[in-house]
Amino acid sequence: MGTTLRFTKRAPKSSQRCAPADRSNGESGRRERASVCWVLITTTHYHVARMRAFAAVWPGPSWILELTSANTFPELEVPTCNAGFCRHTLMGRVPPEKISPRAVVAPLLEALSKMQPDVVCLNGWSLPSSLEALWWCLKAERPCVMMSDSTEHDAPRRPWKEFIKGRVVRLTSAALVGGQPHRRYLEKLGFPNVRVFPGYDVVDNVYFAAGADQARCEAAEWRRQLDVPERFFLASARFERKKNLERLLQAFATYRRWAAEAPWDLVILGDGELREELQAQRSALRLDRVVLMPGFRGYSELPRYYGLASAFVHASTTEQWGLVVNEAMAAGLPVLVSNRCGCAPDLVEEGRNGFTFDPYDIEGLARLMVRMSTMSDAERAAMGQASREIISRWTPETFATNLMKAVEVALAAPRPKATLLDKFLLWALIHRPRALR
């Protein structure tokens, strides 16, 4: 819990990789060597893939500053690895849910003061740690890049909250967002379109493609080891209300009644507080033998399930993006995606690589499941190939290129000036018991 700054090196490009940037050569020299720090709660494989790609193209030092190295799901934790950037942990292995905003203030501000980054990247406007980092940027006159995958429709919106968000986002200098709906939301909050760039929500496509293809080459053996059927829909989600797994089970039960012959099974990866409730619902619907719930599966296992699945379904009633859709598409699967998912407008091309649906329309989803399972193998293979072509535009390299643009814009933009009202709002948001959604 101490605040002493220690860097964990990740194969730096030079011996000075983790040192503060040299600012002795004026503004042009500063931009060439500018250091970039990304403030996170905890680092996962997704963050590593993105920051590795960024570090490969950005000439200056790059850091991840995380609050904790622990994760609610230990399988997602990332051990020390050579990734081309530096990683510093503030609170050791304290579980994320046990970190209080007040406890992190002093170590976070001390770390930023010692690092002296030229640009700070913030994970949205709802986390106290992001707002603390923004406060530091304003005092130190350093620009920051807002990373956001919030949309206008992913939560109830109240005018007073939108007013506060607008004040907060205008204190940042550039933004990296998920895609179209996220850009539109920032614009509605008053952020200039020319300083918004897409590509925030990406995964390591090569990793999922290679793992899925290998599983397909050894399908018989992996089906035996994983105990999965020949044909199945795959879903992967935390067992919580917004993932809409209750309606997915109802839609699947309807699909099984409607399917003329050889209906598929359903495999749901994940875990959470609703497990017992979902298992009881599965039994009530008499689906115990055809709906498998293997539990949460770690990063190393996921590509095998994607490789053996016939199609992927994601039924959330609200979802800022939906990275599991990226994973499934990189693995070459056709997809059925709720139209409430932030990724849907950018990743799903109707009839080409899959279909979108209303997550509250149980029969509508069942009809799409029938349609998907009655296609020919060639039609589904073409859809899977289309998924790979579409997702090839959403890679860690996309993230790196557009974050680099955002950083350059942030460095060139005039520094935002906080009014007394802005300062009061930031202080209140940092210390309030609930986050600003």
Q: Which of 408, 414, 403 is nearest to 197 (CA)?
A: 403
The per-residue pLDDT for 6 is 36
**CB 369, CB 231: distance < 8 Å:** no
| Span 147-160, average pLDDT | 91
Question: Residue 4's Cα: distance from chain center in Å?
Answer: 30
Q: Give yes or no on whether 26-202+395-431 and 205-391 have one common fold.
A: yes
**Within 170-204, where are the H helices?**
180-188
Sign of the CA dihedral running 235, 240, 241, 243? negative
Two structure tokens written together for 394: 């959403």
| DSSP 8-state assignment for residue 119 | E
Start-end of H helices in 149-267: 159-169, 180-188, 205-217, 219-226, 245-258
Contact 270, 296 (CB under 8 A): yes
Give percent above pLDDT 90 in the chain: 80
- The CATH number that domain 26-202+395-431 falls under is 3.40.50.2000
Look at residue 126 in the predicted model and tell me its pLDDT. Answer: 82
Please tell me the predicted confidence (pLDDT) of residue 8.
Answer: 38
Residue with tokens 């920032």: 186
The pLDDT value given to residue 206? 98
Q: Kindly state the average pLDDT of the residues 298-302.
A: 94
Please give the pLDDT value at position 4. 34
The pLDDT score that the predictor gives to residue 228 is 98
Strand partners, 233: 266, 311
pLDDT band at 105 (very low <50, low <70, confident <90, very high): confident
Check residues 157 and 389 and name the one with the higher pLDDT: 389
> CA quadruple 399, 402, 406, 411: dihedral positive or negative?
positive
Residue 361 — pLDDT band, cuts 50, 70, 90?
Answer: very high
- What is residue 20's predicted lDDT score, i.e. its pLDDT? 52
What are 258-291's pLDDT values in tens digits?
998 899 999 999 999 999 999 999 999 999 999 9
Which residues, in sequence order, are bridge partners of residue 236?
269
pLDDT at 313 over 80: yes
pLDDT at 3 over 60: no
pLDDT at position 15 is 34
pLDDT score at 147: 96
For the domain spanning 205-391, the CATH number is 3.40.50.2000
Q: How confident is the model at residue 1 (pLDDT cuts 50, 70, 90)?
A: very low
Query: Does the pLDDT at position 162 exceed 90?
Result: yes
Structure-block tokens of residue 101:
């905003």
**With 90 as the cut, is the pLDDT of residue 155 above it?**
no
Residue 343 has a pLDDT of 98
Average pLDDT, the chain: 90
pLDDT at 7 over 60: no
Average pLDDT on 170-199 reads: 96
For 188-232, write each residue's pLDDT tens digit: 999 999 999 999 999 999 999 999 999 999 999 999 999 999 999
Write the pLDDT tens digit of every residue in 26-43: 444 455 689 999 999 999
pLDDT for 168 beyond 50: yes
Position 13 scores a pLDDT of 42
Across 6-10, 99-103, 111-115, 258-262, the highest mean pLDDT is recorded for 111-115
Average pLDDT over residues 80-96: 86
Question: Would you say 148 and 175 are in contact if contact means Cβ atoms under 8 Å apart?
Answer: yes
Q: How far is CA 166 from CA 38, 153, 270, 407, in A?
A: 22, 16, 35, 21
Three-state secondary structure call for residue 96: helix
Q: How far apart are CA 181 and CA 188, in angstroms?
A: 11
Residues 44-69, mean pLDDT to the nearest whole number = 95
Q: How confident is the model at residue 80 (pLDDT cuts 50, 70, 90)?
A: low
Judge contact between 43 and 69, C-beta under 8 A. Answer: yes
Q: Give the start-to-end residue ranges of the domains of the chain.
A: 26-202+395-431, 205-391
Helices 245-258/362-373 angle, 10° precision: 50
